[in-house]
């Protein structure tokens, strides 16, 4: 496996070869997990999911070795170096191979590789005969923008195709150069077979996402489903509830403008908005005034969720798995969400919440009016939302599913190696 894109390592410096290491690992149950993640400059839900899974594994006695890069590093290097590292990072490749041998890693679990980690880590694990699990938090492997949205409309022009349109339209950070680098990374690793052959199992967060990745060309037999989770064991108090709640960024893709427009159709827009976003801050404050609460720490958000009547998720893009929905369910809070992408799979109409036509302010307003007029029905949906949390989204449910995926991935590695030989 060495020599790919100019990458090479001194085998003697690495210690025992992959065959010996693999034999040692194969003789014991899962113990050591190498978690790989490229952190974002602005902390988001994905970073929280990573930390939750690390803590979950450690609570169950697994040793978790973390390999992290962070986007704060980007400004310290050259543009040419960043271009190279986005496509193939020699440093990350070497670091991961070294950690696998030194720590006797049993499985590598990758979250985000953009831009500093790069897909080179898949090849590093492959060279050491260690299974790789990749969680698909967004659609970056299929869409340069990662959310299938252009000019506030769903766009699948790059799905299953060479993403040249994403470059021409400057879809990644409104930059043709950065979009070209990302597209180059995708095209290179599709051609090398990285995504088809060097990742043992992909984790999609729901069936909608799984099907979308299959449409985009990932091998169906390698994609499994495991949702996100939150650790909120206490049963929410069955006290009085009133008003709506929005939690998230004030940005176009989150449908905040739709919510603002819907407020104009409401006599009493009793909805509190928690979040921030410079681009839409003025519009949000004009629509909701003192109900804009700004940023709040998670404990305060959860307290607000336990006294609200419903949560609004008005996204106009394909959401993978909004963590706020699981948090709401854990708090016994039903959800009013867009009828789009994975959201109808996560929110059962009339059972755990209500659905409205994505982008339609009038339909959203109608659902909010109905929710305000039927508090008992919303409380009933909230109890069923809590039931859904206990059935699907608790740490213990998630841990069992994660271990099943790890075991399946580890079993698949020798089969793949025999076939390759």
Domains in the chain: ranges and CATH? 4-135+193-229+396-420 (3.40.50.2000), 244-393 (3.40.50.2000)
Query: How far lies 167's CA from each of 19, 181, 280, in Å?
Result: 42, 9, 26
CA distance 123 to 140: 19
Question: What is the secondary structure of 332-367 as a DSSP string?
Answer: T--EEEESSTTHHHHS-BTTTEEEE-TT-HHHHHHH
- Cβ neighbourhood burial of 412 (10 Å; 0-12, 13-18, 19+): middle
246 forms bridges with which residues in the sheet? 273
Per-residue pLDDT of the chain in tens (421 residues, 90 and over written 9)? 333 443 444 444 455 666 555 555 555 678 899 999 999 877 778 999 999 999 999 999 999 999 999 988 876 667 888 889 999 999 999 999 999 999 999 999 999 999 999 999 999 999 999 999 999 999 999 999 999 999 999 999 999 999 999 999 999 999 999 999 999 999 999 999 999 999 999 999 999 999 999 999 999 999 999 999 999 988 887 889 999 999 999 999 999 999 999 999 999 899 999 999 988 999 999 999 999 999 999 999 999 999 999 999 999 999 999 999 999 999 999 999 999 999 999 999 999 999 999 999 999 999 999 999 999 999 999 999 999 999 999 999 999 999 999 999 999 997 444 444 3
Q: What's 70's DSSP letter?
A: E
CA distance 94 to 7: 9
Query: How far lies 185's CA from each of 97, 139, 192, in Å?
Result: 21, 14, 11
CA distance 203 to 389: 20
Contacts 24+ apart (CB under 8 A), 408-414: 408/201, 408/224, 409/107, 409/131, 409/132, 409/133, 409/200, 409/201, 410/30, 410/106, 410/107, 410/131, 412/131, 412/200, 412/201, 413/22, 413/129, 413/130, 413/131, 413/200, 414/26
pLDDT of residue 255: 98
Q: Which two tokens stand for residue 365?
A: 């307003």
pTM given for the model: 0.91
Phi, psi of 351 (to 5 degrees): -110, -55
Which is it for strands 149-150 and 271-274: parallel, antiparallel or unpaired?
unpaired
pLDDT of residue 27: 53
Q: What's 251's DSSP letter?
A: S
Residue written as tokens 């091998």?
A: 219
């Amino acid at each position: 496996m060495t020599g790919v894109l100019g990458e090479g390592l001194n085998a003697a410096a690495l210690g025992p070869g992959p065959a010996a290491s693999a034999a040692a690992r194969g003789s014991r149950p899962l113990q050591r997990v190498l978690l790989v993640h490229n952190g974002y400059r602005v902390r988001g839900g994905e970073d929280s999911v990573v930390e939750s899974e690390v803590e979950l594994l450690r609570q169950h006695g697994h040793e978790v070795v973390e390999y992290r890069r962070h986007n704060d590093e980007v400004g310290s290097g050259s543009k040419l170096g960043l271009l190279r590292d986005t496509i193939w990072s020699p440093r990350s490749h070497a670091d991961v191979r070294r950690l696998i041998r030194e720590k006797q890693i049993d499985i590598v679990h990758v979250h985000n590789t953009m831009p500093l980690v790069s897909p080179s880590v898949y090849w590093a694990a492959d060279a050491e005969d260690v299974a790789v699990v990749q969680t698909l938090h967004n659609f970056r492997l299929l869409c340069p923008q990662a959310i299938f949205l252009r000019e506030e409309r769903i766009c699948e022009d790059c799905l299953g195709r060479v993403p040249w349109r994403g470059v021409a339209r400057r879809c990644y950070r409104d930059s043709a150069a950065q979009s070209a680098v990302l597209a180059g990374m995708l095209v290179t690793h599709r051609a090398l077979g990285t995504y088809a052959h060097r990742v043992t199992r992909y984790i999609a967060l729901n069936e909608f996402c799984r099907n979308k990745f299959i449409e985009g060309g990932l091998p169906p037999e390698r994609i499994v489903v495991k949702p996100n989770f939150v650790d909120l064991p206490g049963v929410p108090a069955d006290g009085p509830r009133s008003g709506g709640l929005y939690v998230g960024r004030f940005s176009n893709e989150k449908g905040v403008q739709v919510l603002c427009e819907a407020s104009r159709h409401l006599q009493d827009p009793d909805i509190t908005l928690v979040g921030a976003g410079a681009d839409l801050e003025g519009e949000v404050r004009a629509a909701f005034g003192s109900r804009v609460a700004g940023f709040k720490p998670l404990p305060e958000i959860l307290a607000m969720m336990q006294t609200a009547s419903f949560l609004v998720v008005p996204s106009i893009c394909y959401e993978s798995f909004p963590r706020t929905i699981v948090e709401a369910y854990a708090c016994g809070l039903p959800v009013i969400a867009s009828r789009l992408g994975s959201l109808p799979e996560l929110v059962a109409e009339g059972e755990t919440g209500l659905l409205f036509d994505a982008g339609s302010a009038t339909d959203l307003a109608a659902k909010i009016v109905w929710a305000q007029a039927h508090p008992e029905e919303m409380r009933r949906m909230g109890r069923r939302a809590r039931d859904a949390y206990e059935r699907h989204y608790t740490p213990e449910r998630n841990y069992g599913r994660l271990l099943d995926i790890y075991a399946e991935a580890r079993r698949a590695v020798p089969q793949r190696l025999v076939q390759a030989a």
